[in-house]
Amino acid sequence: MVKPNARLLQVSLIFFLYIALIVENIFYKELVFAVVRNREKEKNKENGIIL
């Protein structure tokens, strides 16, 4: 009775970690994109270009 339960727990843990990794990856890409976009805005502001 213990073995299937442990196996299920292991599978669900791996699945959860996989989902967390995907979410984190998407969030990180969004964050980097926002920072880059902000930096571009700052650069354009210095050059007198208004977007």
The answer to the question of residue 35 being in a domain is yes
At 2 the pLDDT is 61
Give me the number of domains the chain comprises: 1
Q: What is the pLDDT of residue 49?
A: 64
Query: Which domain covers residue 42, as residue numbers?
Result: 23-51
Residue 2, in any domain of the structure:
no
Whether 48 is covered by a domain: the verdict is yes
Contact 41, 51 (CB under 8 A): yes
| pLDDT, tens only, 2-49 | 676 888 999 999 999 999 999 999 999 999 899 999 888 888 887 776
**Residue 51: its pLDDT value, please?**
56
3 found inside a domain: no
End-to-end CA distance of the chain: 64
Residue 36 lies in a domain: yes
12 near 19, Cβ under 8 Å?
A: no
Residue 9 lies in a domain: no
pLDDT at 22: 95
